Amino acid sequence: MSKSNFGTAPVFFTAISTILGAILFLRFGYAVGTLGFWGVILIILLGHMVTIPTSLAISEIATNKRVQGGGEYFIISRSFGLNIGATIGLALFLSQAISVAFYVIAFTEAFSPLFDWFKETYGFGLPRQVVSVPAMLLLSFLILKKGANLGVKALYIVVAILFLALGLLFAGSPVGEETSYFSENLALKNGNSFFIVFAIIFPAFTGMTAGVGLSGELKNPGKSIPLGTITATISGLIIYLILAWKMADTVSPDLLVGDQLIMSQIAPYGYFIIPLGLAASTISSALGSVMVAPRTLHALSEDRSLPWSRANGILSSTRKKDGEPFNASLVTVIIAMVFVILGDVDIVAQIITMFFMVTYGSLSLISFLNHFGSAPSYRPTFRSRWYVSLIGFIMAVWLMFKIDMFYALAAILTIGVLYLYINSVHKQRRGMEDIFKGAFFQLNRRLQVYVQKNYKSRKKMEWRPSAICISSDSFNRQKALEFMNWIAWKYGFGTYIHMKNGYFSTKLADEASKELEKLVDIIDQKNSAVYVDTMISPSYTSAVAQAIQLPGVSGMENNMVVFESLRTDEENMQAIVENMPLAKAGRFDICLYSSTLKPVNHKSGIHVWIRSTDVYNANEMILLSYIISAHPAWEGTKISIFNIVGHGKTEESRDEIIKIVEQGRLPIAVKNIKSVEINEDTTQRELIEQKSQDAGLVIIGFLEEQVKHDGKKIFMGYESMGDILFVNSRNEKTIIE
């Protein structure tokens, strides 16, 4: 195991040395010359609208739980789940590893005077690799031989040189004959180049999370990470603000744009101290990255998060004498060396920026969701504000696309594909739904309270089914669950209650919990939109009484009770008939799904039968046929309406229904609306059986008085037909507004 012996200083120095990197020396003057003082101030403030919320978010999360090895990866994986953590963690590791190469290549710019002298003396230029490759080899040897301890000691030296260079720069004099160039550099200019320059300068502000990667070696991460990270971020902001003023005041715009090492002309002994400062800043940034990247990879492999099992074993091992992640460090320096040899990482640098932005946005999002979710276990000793974290997340996403839409989409697509692959390898691991769960709970609660408070206008609301179904036959047949899914798929809401017979006890509660898990698996496999639950009750009557008092899961009151039974099951039909008055007493619409053992033939259409007694039922029956047909299983099916009329009223009744359908913009063809005369030799039931025996679903209305008079008989029979939905509406529904 690695010793946890570092305090706050390494966190601060690792972060500040990465923040004050190569771009400060090489491109900051160019930014001031191109955009002017106020343009660069705007870039600094805009960039810190991402970095400050991120540093606050990290500080908050670090004081809620002990941040172990892996830093940012550990935080993301323990919040979003190991699979999404592995996805972002791999992207983060590659960014950190390639960043080493980026800083080493930038380090060679400190030797520009040497390269210029060589070209003037010998007539040809040397490739930058003559410096960058040996520098990378030396850095690799030192980090592999001595590990993080040497890296931290070296940081103290290079940061001291860095601050000496900055101190002399701030003490320097204007370049040229003028005493001040501030008025020339003051105004914002070249606004069309703003985000191009922003893309070049923004990496200068990143790096505040670099110290978090040392979390596994810290004595007290909960103290050191917030203090070191926030101090480095604020210090960097102040230094960049002062630097913007200094550059604007001491150099003309032309020189700022034309000379990337213009700082050497400002500072006393600048010909020596500025290249030395550039070397110190780049090598310190490289040191910071080369210490942090292996720890990210090591943490990934320790969690067995890499999709290659053998790699997990190799990369999770540490060196016995000091606990250093030697194998992970070796992989890091090999990747870095490849890009150092290539020598040009401009394109890769933009991808790196995108992955860092994804990381920063994720950290801010985690903080926001934890605030919004209000989990009792979230008790950080340091607290940011939810709106600060939200701003950080939004700004990170927005700036990704403003910097470069192509690279932003490439980064998001890469992470998406990587997540799908890792998710397929580690199917058993929890996904990112866990962190969203608390936020969804809170959002659902607030919405339901809002709906309840503002429900005075419910009588004027457009009708839609909010159905509740009670069944004890969930695992014998699933016709009721299928029907509820048809209703809830697009336009309605459905709650399915599996009844478990008996008196409440610990044993039955455990059994009900297991059965609920089975139901959830079923609706997951069917891609169902129905909410499922279980209920323990000593009788069917008490279950119905309990269920109709449940609140609607949508925030809308339940308005329909759905019963379901096999048409041949007389006992179950009798129980349903006996409990219909209970549902009617609660002012519910009632549906009875009379099923058969035959599968539903969706292509055979939906038949709606309207009789003279269906004054209240007719519109609801038509609306239900439309709502059901929206489910993908019924795609392409046709709805037919049959209106049973007396002699001589055929056309008149048909015209009324056509008017309702057309003005209601319902997708029912006029040719499928038919009025059917009934004669003395044929009963209504025989007529329905004759014309709808092959239909996928038949919808028939019924009255409460019929149930009182004939009981279960009105729902039974129909031997030649498939499934039937019997509908009783408590009031007339409006189709035409």
Torsion of CA 543, 544, 546, 550, to 10 degrees: 130
Residues of the chain below pLDDT 70: 1-6, 65-71, 146-154, 210-217, 322, 343-352, 373-377, 430-435, 438, 451-461, 648-650, 737
Q: Token pair for residue 87?
A: 């996805």
What pLDDT sits at residue 1? Answer: 38
Give 8-425's CATH code, choosing from 1.20.1740.10, 3.40.50.300, 3.40.190.10, 1.20.1050.10: 1.20.1740.10
Domain 458-728 has CATH 3.40.50.12370: yes
Evaluated on CA atoms 49, 51, 52, 58, the torsion sign reads positive
User: What three-state secondary structure class fits 725?
Assistant: strand
What pLDDT sits at residue 147? Answer: 59
Q: How far is CA 353 from CA 92, 167, 403, 584, 694, in A?
A: 10, 29, 9, 63, 62
**Shortest CA distance to 31 belongs to which of 42, 40, 19?**
40
647 CB burial (10 A radius; 0-12, 13-18, 19+): exposed
User: Cα 196 from chain centroid?
Assistant: 28
Torsion of CA 545, 492, 663, 605, to 10 degrees: -100
**Shortest CA distance to 696 belongs to which of 486, 466, 398, 406?**
486
Could you give the CA distance from residue 322 to residue 295 in angstroms, rounded to a whole number? 14
Q: Say if pTM beats, i.e. exceeds, 0.85.
A: no
Could you give the CA distance from residue 262 to residue 438 in angstroms, rounded to a whole number? 53
582 CB burial (10 A radius; 0-12, 13-18, 19+): middle
Q: Token pair for residue 642?
A: 């049959």
Interval 409-455: pLDDT, tens: 888 888 888 888 887 777 777 655 666 776 777 777 777 777 666 65
Residue type, position 74, single letter: F
What pLDDT sits at residue 375? Answer: 62
For the chain, domain boundaries: 8-425, 458-728
Residue 248: which residues within 8 A CB-CB, separation 6 or more? 32, 36, 37, 40, 181, 182, 185, 186
Strand order in the sheet with 531-537: 531-537, 493-501, 466-471, 560-566, 589-595, 723-728, 697-701, 606-610, 639-645, 673-677
For residue 228, give the H/E element and its range: helix 221-250
Beta strands in 444-537 (DSSP E): 466-471, 493-501, 531-537
Which residues on adjacent β-strands are paired with residue 641?
Answer: 608, 673
Could you give the CA distance from residue 308 to residue 324 in angstroms, rounded to a whole number? 22
